[in-house]
Amino acid sequence: MATTIGMMDSAYFVGRNEIIAWINSTLQLSISKVEETAPGAVACQLMDVVHPGMVPMHKVNFDAKNEYEMIQNYKVLQDVFNKLKINKHVEVNKLTKGRPLDNLEFMQWMKRYCDSINRGAASNYNAMERRESSRGGKETNKKASAPSQANSKASGAAPKAHASHNTRRSDAHSTSAPQKNVKSSSNSGAQARDEQQITELKVFIDSLEKERDFYFSKLRDIEILLQTPEIDHLPIVGAIQKILYANDADPSVAAEAQAMVTQQNQPLAQTPTEEINQPLALSPIEELSEERSINLETQKRKSIDCLEAFDIGSGSRPRLSDISDVQQSPLINY
């Protein structure tokens, strides 16, 4: 039974457009929003469709705008439910607010109930005639009939307009086809050029990054070498470190480093007195020749002493033939 359907029933998955179309076709209305059913008059007449004669249509107000007028319509509906023993709680406070979701759910239930009674068929039911006795029913019928006449006129003119529109559309399509092809080809060519430029830029960036990493590694190696304790005290090391650790590219930093190296290599200035008292340094060649002369003189003196010793022992200079016997002479023992 429709009065016991749950929230997950297929009835609550019917779209609002379908609900609006069903209401308009059943009651011969022209509503465009589901919120227009908030006054309750539509629900009363839907019950009059499936249960003819059960709804006092003269008590229904189709022109209800205030809340108390809407509540009166829902009282009529609730009385019908009670007579038919339909166990359905109508949330009047929510429906009269005109919120789309609340009114959509209630109309979904109404459609499900009407379909369960006579499958929504409204045979031999004149909706406009039944509204004539209701308050505001005549005005509602006039509003409903005006759009129907306009729709009939529009439906007659629609085929001609549609045919002419299709003709213009085909002509425009035929003339714009070459232009689209030209635009597409130009766009593809521009896209290819852009992709080529992007590829070249990527290659250039990669080469720059490799060069940067190469020189950075070199500077890092130099920095590690300068931190060696054996050469840390050298002035050239301090000059290089000054250049390496400079915060900006200031040319004065390089000049200061050059000055540090130059100042360290200059000898200390001597006073005039020290220059006079300091002996003249001989060249290496002169010192070597003097040393050789001293050695030669010493060897000559040793030779003379030996000859004198021979003269004293023998009384005469020995002969060359007897030189071989010198080692056996008894004078040597003497």
The parent domain of residue 135 ranges over: 10-145
Tally of domains within the chain: 2
Which CATH number belongs to the domain containing residue 76 in this structure?
Answer: 1.10.418.10
The encoded tokens of residue 49 equal 């469709």
Mean pLDDT of 160-183: 57
Average pLDDT over residues 141-168: 61
Q: Which of 107, 91, 109 is nearest to 33 (CA)?
A: 107
* Average of per-residue pLDDT across 8-27: 89
CA dihedral 44, 50, 55, 59 (to 10 degrees): 30
Condensed to tens digits (0 to 9), the pLDDT of residues 195-213 reads 888 988 988 898 888 888 8
Residues 107, 199, single domain; the answer is no
Average pLDDT over residues 160-189: 60
The answer on 16 and 128 residing in a single domain is yes
Using alpha carbons only, how large is the chain's radius of gyration in Å?
63
Please check whether residue 128 is in contact with residue 49, taking contact to mean a CB–CB distance below 8 angstroms.
Answer: no
Residue 168 has pLDDT above 80, yes or no: no
Per the prediction, the chain carries an average pLDDT of 76
Residue with token string 């006092």 = 56
For the CA atoms of 15, 19, 22, 25, the dihedral, rounded to the nearest 10 degrees, stands at: -120
Q: Determine, yes or no, domain membership for 112.
A: yes
Length of the chain, please?
Answer: 334
| Same domain (yes/no): 115, 218 | no
**Rounded Cα distance, 78 and 89, in Å:** 9
User: Which residue has better confidence, 255 or 49?
Assistant: 49
Domain-located, residue 295: no
Same domain as 214, residue 111: no
Give the whole-angstrom CA distance, residue 247 versus residue 249.
7
pLDDT digits (tens, 9 = 90+) for 111-127: 999 888 876 455 688 99
Out of 263, 295, 312, pick the residue that ends a domain. 263
